[in-house]
Amino acid sequence: MNLDRTAASSAARTVLSKVPEVTIFFWIIKILATTIGETAADYLATNLGFGLTGTTWVMAGLLAVVLVFQFRAPRYVPVIYWLVVVVLSIVGTLVTDNLTDKYNVALETTTVIFAVALAATFTAWYLVERTLSIHSIYTPRREAFYWLAILFTFALGTASGDLIAERYDVGYWKAALLFGGCIALITIAWRYFHLNPILAFWMAYILTRPLGASIGDYLSQPKADGGLGLGTTTTSLIFLAAIAIVVAYLTKTKKDQIAMTVPAEESSVRS
């Protein structure tokens, strides 16, 4: 009997996920981060002096650095994880802005391109790992798929959000209401009509990007352009402070850490 227990314990191991549990705090920080992605990208491209393309390369370099820390961390660390999300949000915005503003690629085209790229990422992820669940992110390969998918959600969200708010002239606050309403419908479908939770998560995740961008633009853009005129600096600082407060709370309480039991051979895979 003791040998059976030993074999059972060696066949399974408890590991900590590299990503947070999906709680209300997750969605709060996600929307705050996407708002910063919009306003900080505008601020940096205007004030760093590198131009749009140069700023994109600088931020891509910073993203590579923070991703190194994220991949080396043995578990989810709120400060590192959310720093990656914020920088990814900025990079995703800059990539889309480069294609639109510098190379004159239509927003309709970039929306399709990033939608196809995201679909290809999900397809490859599922074919290799047989799951798209964020509750299974405990190996570097799954984490690589996860971050690549998130990069494309930011780029797609930027393109589609700008397309609806600006090109179709819906306006910033109306666009925010539109995207917020879509997220509410997804939540209702998941809670009451048995929408697949993984599908619901990724649909909502994609939509938080244009939601946050619309909020950021509404707060930062001049009143003549339909905004409140707070400016990109003030808006970015407000939302960064809000993220810092929530991340500090999660670091202290550990309310969003995920522990799971997996086969020992899986928990030891590092590629």
Rounded to two decimals, the pTM is 0.88
**Tens of pLDDT along 41-72?**
888 888 877 888 888 999 999 999 999 999 99
Please name the helix (run of DSSP H) or strand (run of DSSP E) that holds residue 118, with its range, or none.
helix 107-129
Whole-angstrom distance, CA of residue 208 vs CA of residue 211: 5
DSSP 5-45: HHHHHHHEEEEE-SS---SHHHHHHHHHHHHHHHHHHHHHH
Percent of the chain topping pLDDT 70: 90
The residue extents of the domains of the chain are 18-256
Query: What does the pLDDT average to over 109-127?
Result: 96
- Residue with the two structure tokens 């650095």: 65
Mean pLDDT score across all residues of the chain: 87
**Tens of pLDDT along 217-241?**
888 888 887 788 888 889 889 999 9
